[in-house]
Amino acid sequence: MSKVITPKEQDYSQWYNDLVIKAGLADHSAVKGCMVIKPYGYAIWERMQAVLDGMFKATGHSNAYFPLFIPKSFFAKEAAHVEGFAKECAVVTHYRLKNSPEGLVVDEDAKLDEELIVRPTSETIIWNTYKGWIQSYRDLPLLINQWANVVRWEMRTRLFLRTAEFLWQEGHTAHATRQEAVEEAEKMLNVYAEFVEKWMSVPVIKGTKTASERFAGALETYCIEAMMQDGKALQAGTSHFLGQNFAKAFDVKFLNKEGKSELVWATSWGVSTRLMGALVMTHSDNEGLVLPPQLAPIQVVIVPIYREAEQLAKINEVVSKLTRSFDADGIRYKYDSDDNRSPGWKFAEYELKGVPVRLAIGPKDLEKGTIEVSRRDTRTKEFVPIEGVEKYVKNLLGEITENLFKKAVELRTNNSHKVDTYAEFKEVLEKQSGFVWAHWDGTAETEEKIKEETKATIRCIPLNNPQEEGKCVYSGKPSKQRVIFAKAY
RNA sequence: CGGGGUGUAGCGUAGUCUGGUUAUCGCGCCUGCUUUGGGAGCAGGAGGUCGUCAGUUCGAAUCUGGCCACCCCGACCA
């Protein structure tokens, strides 16, 4: 074994780091807090992008691109927004370097009149621009998305989960009415939930954030929350109803049908490369990655087993029929006939990389007319007649997708607890982690106290949450519904 | 940003306490032959500013100080 992964039972953080690095998804870079996304990791991200982009287009959105740099004065216009992001902004102050006796230095003569902020998010530059795009109700709704990188100067970083620079998409929409904007925010939350559940096989809970967890500048923040295998919560996507806050700050008005001037209503929504972290931490095991077939860069790997060139030639013949059929079905495969690696090495390597299905074919198979089919999720294998194996594989890919989702739901169910006393609450979080469904009195004070004492935060108030009479687990005050508490990434 | 730890070949490491020939071993890499149904074997070979900068010393991977990076734990956050 040349690539040893720390077992997750021993050290979950280390297990995650080992997976990301050893499976070739990403690496630490020479730049503090920034990562290099390697080809295999980027291929998965590209799959995510392609699917999401299609979903955005299907819901009427267009892509555009706004500047990386935001003048400080723009940034300062929305008070809550500034408050939320000021502590983690990279700032550009000069535009030139020069040679000096000490080497290359910043040229103090090249100081910018106004500093530029490297975008931590683009609301301000976008709303400044929208002012010029919107005059009449006929210009609405304005439905724009951008794929971009953003920078948030984080103290402590983790590959994919929190890096100083990350890749994401940010949608920014403008609407004539409050209701339409709220509907947009909810619609995009549903798009995210569908993507994460159907394509990533990661179950999520849709909900809203409490005031303290809300996006800086939003009236309502919607989120989807997933549970990782260690029981911690991970926010997989957010969608914000921004009210008229940015319209006010940037004076974005439109003339309605009656000829009266009104402020527009706004939303923004985003998912990031953090989804890669969710993907890894939801399905993978101690042997390596486990990728859902829908996003796997390679869905099927074919490994030939042979002694002589003659045998390989026969195998090639069988395989080429197979791959023609895969081509026709749009199945992403790799035929690895590399002579320098033994079959055993390849088996281990593709397991590490999370390839959902492996086909092995050797002399014995040629004799019997079978092929060995192994599935990554259950680590089981069986011999299947070569005749019709294409169909078998196609079904298997679907089955794996479902099984991954089912297993993730089971994990979440087994680690979700309804509790009614604070003693129980603390016990669950200490001993088992997971989601805790508990009554909460709705105050920020209680939320803060619980966070201080248990490190658990309110992940969300689920949408369509069943209403029931109860008492706040902390204060004993009356409550009408349970909310989800958990430790979070 | 605070506390703790680590840094020696692409990767993992010995050596560091107690300074002293040519810096150890395994994996990987290159060449050749044999192999191939769960990380192959043998033989030969290449690869090092010992994180970095300065200091102490006749002599530094080893001692001292600064800096950098990464990991773990906390505070902050997607």
For each of the domains in chain A, give its residue range(s) and CATH number, in order of start.
12-71+124-283 (3.30.930.10), 300-397 (3.40.50.800), 416-486 (3.30.110.30)
Asked whether residue A155, judged by its CB, lies under 7 Å from any atom of the DNA or RNA strand B, the reply is yes
- For chain A residues 32-51, those near strand B by a CB cutoff of 7 A are 32-33
DSSP secondary structure letters along A454-466: HS-EEEEEETTPP
Query: Residue A483: which residues within 8 A CB-CB, separation 6 or more?
Result: A210, A437, A438, A439, A440, A458, A460, A461, A462, A465
- For chain A residues 91-150, those near strand B by a CB cutoff of 7 A are none
User: Can you tell me whether residue A429 is helix, strand or coil?
Assistant: helix
Asked whether residue A13, judged by its CB, lies under 7 Å from any atom of the DNA or RNA strand B, the reply is yes
Which tops the pLDDT comparison, A426 or A4? A426
Asked whether residue A77, judged by its CB, lies under 7 Å from any atom of the DNA or RNA strand B, the reply is no
| Residue A315 phi, psi dihedral angles, 5° rounding | -65, -45
Least confident of A72-86, A198-212, A230-244, A322-336: A72-86
Note the CA–C1' distance, A310 to B46, in angstroms: 34
* The two three-digit tokens of residue A30, written as one number: 């020479």
Note the CA–C1' distance, A5 to B21, in angstroms: 40
Q: What is the pLDDT of residue A13?
A: 84
Query: Residue A465: which residues within 8 A CB-CB, separation 6 or more?
Result: A207, A481, A482, A483
Nucleotides of B strand lying within 7 Å of any protein CB atom:
1-2, 27-30, 35-40, 68-78
Mean of pLDDT over chain A: 93
Asked whether residue A441, judged by its CB, lies under 7 Å from any atom of the DNA or RNA strand B, the reply is no
Instruction: Report, as an integer, the average pLDDT of A110-121.
Output: 93
| Residue A267 phi, psi dihedral angles, 5° rounding | -135, 160
Note the CA–C1' distance, A339 to B45, in angstroms: 22
With left for phi above 0 and alpha for psi between -120 and 50, is residue A477 left, alpha or beta?
beta
Q: What is the pLDDT of residue A430?
A: 83
Residue A1 has pLDDT above 70, yes or no: no
Least confident of A5-9, A367-371, A474-478: A5-9
Maximum distance among all Cα pairs of chain A, rounded to whole angstroms? 83
pLDDT band at A7 (very low <50, low <70, confident <90, very high): confident
Instruction: Judge contact between A404 and A290, C-beta under 8 A.
Output: yes
Strand (E) or helix (H) holding A435: strand A435-439
Note the CA–C1' distance, A25 to B50, in angstroms: 29
Asked whether residue A338, judged by its CB, lies under 7 Å from any atom of the DNA or RNA strand B, the reply is no
Of the candidates A291, A168, A186, the one whose C-alpha atom is nearest the C-alpha of residue A236 is A168
Which tops the pLDDT comparison, A274 or A31? A274
Instruction: Judge contact between A216 and A80, C-beta under 8 A.
Output: yes
Whole-angstrom Cα distance, residue A364 to residue A371? Answer: 9
Whole-angstrom Cα distance, residue A393 to residue A402? Answer: 14
Residue in this structure with the two tokens 């000021």, named with its chain if needed: A86
Q: What is the pLDDT of residue A36?
A: 87
Instruction: Report, as an integer, the average pLDDT of A388-397.
Output: 97
pLDDT band at A3 (very low <50, low <70, confident <90, very high): low
Instruction: Report, as an integer, the average pLDDT of A356-384.
Output: 96
pLDDT tens by residue, A235-288: 999 999 999 999 999 999 999 999 999 999 999 999 999 999 999 999 999 999
* The two three-digit tokens of residue A271, written as one number: 């998912």
Which CA-bearing residue is nearest the C1' of B35?
A: A307
A61-64: long-range contacts, CB 8 A cutoff, minimum separation 24: A61/A143, A61/A144, A61/A145, A61/A171, A61/A173, A62/A143, A62/A144, A62/A145, A63/A144, A63/A145, A63/A146, A63/A147, A64/A144, A64/A145, A64/A146
Burial class (CB in 10 A: 0-12, 13-18, 19+), A274: buried
Instruction: Judge contact between A357 and A373, C-beta under 8 A.
Output: yes
Asked whether residue A230, judged by its CB, lies under 7 Å from any atom of the DNA or RNA strand B, the reply is no
Percent of chain A with pLDDT over 70: 99
Amino acid at A131: K
Instruction: Judge contact between A70 and A201, C-beta under 8 A.
Output: no
Residue A425 has pLDDT above 90, yes or no: yes
